[in-house]
Amino acid sequence: MAFDSFRDFVNALDKAGELKRFSQPVATELEITEIADREMKLPGGGKALLFEKPTVNGVVSPFPVAINTLGSHKRMAMSMNAESVDAVANELGALMKAKPPTSFKEAMKLLSLALDLRHAKPKTVKTGACKDVIHLVDSPKLRVDSWPKAPDVNQHSTFNTQPPTLLNLPILRCWPLDGGRFITLPCVVTRDPDTGERNLGMYRIQIYDDKTTGMHWQLQKVAARHGRRYYEKGERMPVAIFIGGDPMFPFAATAPMPDGLDEFLLAGYLRKKSVEMVKCETNDLEVPANADFVIEGYIDPTEPLRDEGPFGDHTGYYTLPEPYPVFHITAITHRKDAVYPATIVGIPPMEDFYIGGASVKLFLPIFKMNFPEIVDIALPAEGVFHNLVFVSIKKTYPMQAYKIMHGLWGMGQMMFSKYIVVVDAEVNVHNTSEVLFHLTANTDPQRDSIFTKGPSDVLDHATSEIAIGSKLGIDATKKLPGEGFKRAWPPLIKMDAAVKAKMEKLLDSR
């Protein structure tokens, strides 16, 4: 059963005992972060949180804020209406195995076919709940400093009678040095002006004033490529941002789908129901009919870029201001019963660890098709997404670990990986301590490492230049004679199975 709205998902979390409600007013400026950060740091990711009375400059918003809704393995599985993300990944893998591909390109084609199999293609409908309230933006510009203030913070009024604007939605100011408020779970829809292909990506949105925002699509992302084409053509670029709806939308927006593959196909596949799309009010892009909020607008290629940030980022550090396109809004529409979903990023572990982990699991079958020796991949929380990658392989020939490193650095967003550690098949890559043990025990540092160069995550503050940097691969597998290792490789210490069983019995009987 697909979720019909974000509220539906929140209710399901509540029923499953996965939600904590806050009925007292909590400020969208820093206070929600403080509570959410503590929750996200609990073992296993804590619970989802619903702030029923979030305040914006001391005034209660009519829209509750939901946060950390995808921040555990269990809630990630619930968002897919599945037993576990592994079960979904296995099913997807089996679908694709029906006809093993011979190349990465073919694997992608097959993925698209596999998604199609479940009639996951999005379909256009006339209207939907996301248009319960339509607010066309043509009123005189409101300045940020004219944000309404509650006369007395204990005497909260609501915005119920006011149209939604970027200034009164419960958009978070997450961390003290942030450059303003940021929409942190936005689903951004763009279109390739040449092919008409659609993209859905998650790029944070900084609020500049009631009519303009930043558009933080990093240079290697698909929407940035679309944007460059509009700049080259000198054409206005339509953009639609939506928030909420089925939780599979924000998940699909973050998934590293290849350029040209529609993320709504993935969302439709995962929610087991094709996504119903409606046309925007002020441009001809489409958004899910059941989204909670839609913010429509455009980017003007003749306008200079504007500094975006600082922002307390995934890396655990603030990203300093960098120039990005300015997004002009032309309409805001929303559901009557809208819930505002948000997240915070910062020092790990955070909610994004579970979102990224689910992506790795779903894409593992594709990695395995290209590299059949891969057993498992993990991106530990400490490496905030791509900084650190652990890969286990069934090694059968010399230098195979290096083949895997180079292969991964050449695959989509794995290009951002700073450190790749390759271990043998029996090492559990999800246990960082186990990987570190094998890494330190099985390597001669100079012999077993390789440095190379490549594109880096633009969020990486440690590289000397933005977006380019070096990479380190470490081969922590058992060395073969063909790799110049002439000594005997010692056996790992392991207790005799019979003794183990006998002593376990003894211990249990005490």
Ligand X SMILES: Cc1cc2nc3c(=O)[nH]c(=O)nc-3n(C[C@H](O)[C@H](O)[C@H](O)COP(=O)(O)O)c2cc1C
Active site residues per annotation: 313
Smallest separation, CB 38 to ligand X (Å): 18
Note whether 384 binds ligand X by CB under 6 A: no
The b/e string for 22-55 (b: 16+ C-beta within 10 A; e otherwise) is beebbbbbebbbebbbebbeeeebbbbbbbbbbb
Note whether 199 binds ligand X by CB under 6 A: yes
Look up residue 73 and give its two tokens.
């393995």
Give the one residue of 81, 212, 254, 274 binding ligand X; rule: CB under 6 A.
254
Smallest separation, CB 271 to ligand X (Å): 18
Contact (CB, 8 A) for 3 and 246: yes
Give the one residue of 173, 204, 361, 438 binding ligand X; rule: CB under 6 A.
204
The stretches of 332-380 forming alpha helices (DSSP H) are 351-370
Note whether 307 binds ligand X by CB under 6 A: no
What is the amino acid identity at position 187? Answer: C
Note whether 213 binds ligand X by CB under 6 A: no
Note whether 343 binds ligand X by CB under 6 A: yes
Give the residue with the Cβ less far from ligand X, 199 or 283.
199
Give the one residue of 10, 19, 88, 223 binding ligand X; rule: CB under 6 A.
223
As a whole number of angstroms, the distance between CA 239 and CA 286 comes to: 10
Give the one residue of 256, 297, 365, 380 binding ligand X; rule: CB under 6 A.
256
Smallest separation, CB 488 to ligand X (Å): 45
In 3D, which of 116, 102, 105 has the Cα closest to residue 262? 116
Give the one residue of 216, 273, 334, 368 binding ligand X; rule: CB under 6 A.
216
As a whole number of angstroms, the distance between CA 192 and CA 129 comes to: 27
Residue at token pair 């500049």: 208
Across the chain, which distance is largest between two alpha carbons, in Å?
80
Note whether 226 binds ligand X by CB under 6 A: no
What is the amino acid identity at position 246? Answer: D
Q: Which stretch binds ligand X (CB under 6 A): 217-225, 275-283, 327-335, 428-436?
A: 217-225
How many helices (DSSP H) and strands (DSSP E) are in the chain?
Answer: 12, 26
Note whether 339 binds ligand X by CB under 6 A: no
Note whether 395 binds ligand X by CB under 6 A: no
Residue at token pair 């290849």: 258
As a whole number of angstroms, the distance between CA 465 and CA 478 comes to: 36
Note whether 387 binds ligand X by CB under 6 A: no
Which residues, 33 to 92, sit near ligand X by CB under 6 A? Answer: none
Note whether 239 binds ligand X by CB under 6 A: no
For ligand X, the binding residues (CB under 6 A) are: 184, 199, 201-204, 216-218, 221-223, 253-256, 343, 345, 352, 355, 413
